[in-house]
Amino acid sequence: MTVIADTTPRTEDVAALVQRWLVESETHPVEPAAQRLSEVLKDPNGLAFTVGFVDGVMRPEDLRVAGRKLSELSDITPALLPGYLRAAIKTGGFWAPKLPGVVVPISRRVLRAMVGHLVLDATPSKLGPAIAKLRKGGNRLNLNLLGEAVLGEREAGHRLQGTRDFLARDDVDYVSIKVSSVVSQLSMWSFDEAVADVVEKLTPLYQLAAKAEAQGKAKFINLDMEEYRDLDLTIAAFTSILDQPGLENLEAGIVLQAYLPDALGAMQHLQEWAAARRAKGGAPIKVRVVKGANLAMEEVDAAIHGWPLATYGTKQDSDTNYKRVLDWAMTPERLDAVRIGVAGHNLFDIAYTWLLAQARGVADPTGAGPLVEYEMLLGMATGQAEAVRKDVGRLLLYTPVVNPAEFDVAIAYLVRRLEENASPENFMSAVFELASNPTLLTRERERFERSLAALATDEPQFVPAAHRVQDRTAPVPDGTTTGFENQADTDPAIAANRTWGREILGRSVGSTLGLDTIAIAKVETDAELDGIFTAATAAAEKWAALPAADRAAVLHRAGDELAARRGQLIEIMAHEAGKTIAEADPEISEAIDFAHYYAERAKDLETVSGAEFVPSKVTVVTPPWNFPVAIPAGGVLAGLASGSAVIIKPAKLTQRCGAVMVEALWAAGVPRDLLALVDLASRDLGTRLVAGPAVDRVILTGAYETAQLFRSFRSDLPLLAETSGKNAIIVTPSADLDLAAADVARSAFGHAGQKCSAASLAILVGSVADSKRFERQLVDAVTSMRVGLPDDPATQMGPIIEPANGKLLTALTKLEKGERWLVEPRKLDDEGKQWTPGVKTGVREGSYFHLTEFFGPVLGIMHAKDLDEALRLQNAVDYGLTAGIHSLDSDEVATWLDRVEAGNLYVNRGITGAIVQRQPFGGWKRSAVGAGAKAGGPNYLFGLGEWTPSGLPVAAPDAAVVPAVGALLDAAAAEVDAVEADWLRRAAASDERAWVDEFGAVSDKSGLGVERNIFRYRPVAVDVRIAEHAPLVDGIRVLVAALRSGSPFTVSAPALPSRVEKALRAHGVTVKHESDAAWTKRYAKAANSWHRVRLVGGDAAALHEALDGSPDVAVWSHAVTGAGRVEILPFLHEQAVSITNHRFGNPTTLSDGVI
For residue 669, pLDDT over 70 is answered with yes
Domain ends where: 435, 460, 485? 460
- Contact between 406 and 112 under an 8 Å Cβ cutoff? The reply is no
Residue 573 lies in a domain: yes
Residue 605 lies in a domain: yes
pLDDT level of residue 425 (50, 70, 90 thresholds): confident
- Three-state helix/strand/coil letters over 65-87: HHHHHHHHHHHHCCCCCCHHHHH
- Contact between 719 and 710 under an 8 Å Cβ cutoff? The reply is yes
Rounded to 5 degrees, φ, ψ at 474 are -75, 150
Of 124-133, 336-345, 406-415, 527-536, least confident by mean pLDDT is 406-415
Mean pLDDT of 845-859: 98
For residue 297, pLDDT over 50 is answered with yes
Same-domain status, 604 and 740: no
Distance, CA of 124 to CA of 541 (rounded, Å): 81
SS3 565: coil
Q: Which candidate, 949, 962, 945, 958, places its Cα nearest to that of 999?
A: 962
Structural domain count, the chain? 4
Rounded to 5 degrees, φ, ψ at 1141 are -115, 35
DSSP 277: H
Burial class (CB in 10 A: 0-12, 13-18, 19+), 6: exposed
Of the two residues 406 and 538, the one the predictor is more confident about is: 538
Same-domain status, 555 and 643: yes
Same-domain status, 693 and 772: no
Same-domain status, 718 and 767: no
| Terminal CA-CA length for the chain | 50
Tens digits of residue pLDDT in 1133-1149 = 999 999 999 999 989 99
Distance, CA of 819 to CA of 842 (rounded, Å): 4
Distance, CA of 711 to CA of 332 (rounded, Å): 81
What amino acid positions are annotated as catalytic residues? 722, 756
For the beta sheet containing 618-622, the strands, ordered from the edge strand earlier in sequence to the opposite edge, are 675-677, 645-648, 618-622, 697-701, 719-722, 928-929
Of the two residues 111 and 510, the one the predictor is more confident about is: 510
**Residue 824, C-beta contacts closer than 8 angstroms, at least 6 positions apart:** 838
Q: Which residues of 1046-1080 are buried (b: 16+ CB within 10 A; e: fewer)?
A: bbebbbbbeebeebbbebbeeeebebeebebeebb
Mean pLDDT of 451-459: 94
How confident is the model at residue 78, as a pLDDT?
Answer: 87
SS3 140: strand
Distance, CA of 185 to CA of 580 (rounded, Å): 15
**Residue 1102, C-beta contacts closer than 8 angstroms, at least 6 positions apart:** 1080
**Residue 312, C-beta contacts closer than 8 angstroms, at least 6 positions apart:** 259, 260, 261, 318, 321
Residue 797 lies in a domain: yes
Same-domain status, 985 and 1050: yes
Q: Which candidate, 135, 34, 5, places its Cα nearest to that of 345?
A: 34
pLDDT level of residue 1087 (50, 70, 90 thresholds): low
Q: What is the DSSP string of 355-410?
A: HHHHHTT--S-BTTB-SEEEEEETTSSHHHHHHHHHHH--EEEEEEEE-GGGGGGG
Burial class (CB in 10 A: 0-12, 13-18, 19+), 482: exposed
Mean pLDDT of 673-682: 98
Residue 642: HSE in the Cβ half-sphere, 13 Å Cα cutoff: 29
Residue 60 lies in a domain: no
For residue 955, pLDDT over 80 is answered with no
Of the two residues 114 and 283, the one the predictor is more confident about is: 283
Same-domain status, 767 and 885: yes
Tens digits of residue pLDDT in 886-938 = 999 999 999 999 999 999 999 999 999 999 999 999 999 999 999 879 999 99
Give me the long-range contacts of 159-164 (CB less than 8 A, separation at least 24): 160/201, 160/202, 160/205, 163/205, 164/204, 164/205, 164/208
Q: Which candidate, 197, 208, 88, places its Cα nearest to that of 786?
A: 197
Q: Which residues of 443-481 are buried (b: 16+ CB within 10 A; e: fewer)?
A: bbbebbeebbebbeeeeeeebbebbbebebeeeeeeeeb
Distance, CA of 605 to CA of 616 (rounded, Å): 13
Distance, CA of 565 to CA of 123 (rounded, Å): 57
Of 361-370, 392-401, 484-493, 534-543, least confident by mean pLDDT is 361-370
Tens digits of residue pLDDT in 756-812 = 999 999 999 999 999 999 999 999 999 999 999 999 999 999 999 999 999 999 999
Same-domain status, 737 and 718: no
Mean pLDDT of 1103-1119: 95
Print the domain residue range for 785. 727-926
Query: How much is the mean pLDDT over the chain?
Result: 94
Domain ends where: 674, 695, 722? 722
Tens digits of residue pLDDT in 967-996 = 999 999 999 999 999 999 999 999 999 999
Residue 676: HSE in the Cβ half-sphere, 13 Å Cα cutoff: 29
For residue 66, pLDDT over 90 is answered with yes
Helix (H) or strand (E) holding 1136: strand 1132-1140
- Contact between 1053 and 1035 under an 8 Å Cβ cutoff? The reply is yes
Same-domain status, 979 and 892: no
Tens digits of residue pLDDT in 173-224 = 999 999 999 999 999 999 999 999 999 999 999 999 999 999 999 999 999 9
Rounded to 5 degrees, φ, ψ at 695 are -85, 120
| Residue 860 bridge partners (DSSP) | 761, 840
pLDDT level of residue 738 (50, 70, 90 thresholds): very high
Tens digits of residue pLDDT in 721-737 = 999 999 999 999 999 99
Q: Which candidate, 985, 971, 980, 981, places its Cα nearest to that of 1057?
A: 971
Same-domain status, 773 and 919: yes
Distance, CA of 201 to CA of 181 (rounded, Å): 11
Mean pLDDT of 624-628: 97
Rounded to 5 degrees, φ, ψ at 980 are -65, -40
How confident is the model at residue 365, as a pLDDT?
Answer: 54
How confident is the model at residue 93, as a pLDDT?
Answer: 87
Distance, CA of 329 to CA of 265 (rounded, Å): 11
Same-domain status, 716 and 757: no
Residue 236 lies in a domain: no
Tens digits of residue pLDDT in 1034-1051 = 999 999 999 999 999 999
DSSP 712: H
Distance, CA of 884 to CA of 759 (rounded, Å): 9
For residue 659, pLDDT over 60 is answered with yes
Q: What is the DSSP string of 861-902?
A: EEEESSHHHHHHHHHTSSEESEEEEE---HHHHHHHHHH---
Domain ends where: 722, 755, 778? 722
Helix (H) or strand (E) holding 520: helix 515-520
Q: What is the CATH number of the domain that holds 899?
A: 3.40.309.10
- Three-state helix/strand/coil letters over 459-504: CCCCCCCCCCCCCCCCCCCCCCCCCCCCCCCCCCCCHHHHHHHHHH
Strands (E), 786-868: 820-823, 838-841, 858-864
Tens digits of residue pLDDT in 574-617 = 999 999 999 999 999 999 999 999 999 999 999 999 999 999 99
DSSP 307: P
How confident is the model at residue 1057, as a pLDDT?
Answer: 97
Mean pLDDT of 1085-1103: 88
Most confident range, picked from 35-44, 85-94, 663-672: 663-672
For residue 367, pLDDT over 50 is answered with no
Distance, CA of 700 to CA of 711 (rounded, Å): 12
Same-domain status, 548 and 651: yes
How confident is the model at residue 480, as a pLDDT?
Answer: 86
Residue 685 lies in a domain: yes
pLDDT level of residue 2 (50, 70, 90 thresholds): very low
Tens digits of residue pLDDT in 538-585 = 999 999 999 999 999 999 999 999 999 999 999 999 999 999 999 999
Q: Which amino acid is at 10?
A: R
Question: What torsion do the CA atoms of 713, 718, 722, 725 make, to the nearest 10 degrees?
Answer: 60
| Residue 906 bridge partners (DSSP) | 884, 1138
For residue 1002, pLDDT over 50 is answered with yes
Q: Which candidate, 737, 828, 817, 819, places its Cα nearest to that of 778?
A: 737
Distance, CA of 236 to CA of 240 (rounded, Å): 6
Same-domain status, 992 and 1098: yes
Residue 854 lies in a domain: yes
Q: Which amino acid is at 904?
A: N
Residue 1063 lies in a domain: yes
Q: What is the CATH number of the domain that holds 1083?
A: 3.40.605.10
Distance, CA of 30 to CA of 742 (rounded, Å): 41
Distance, CA of 819 to CA of 822 (rounded, Å): 10
Helix (H) or strand (E) holding 1138: strand 1132-1140
**Residue 278, C-beta contacts closer than 8 angstroms, at least 6 positions apart:** 284, 336, 337
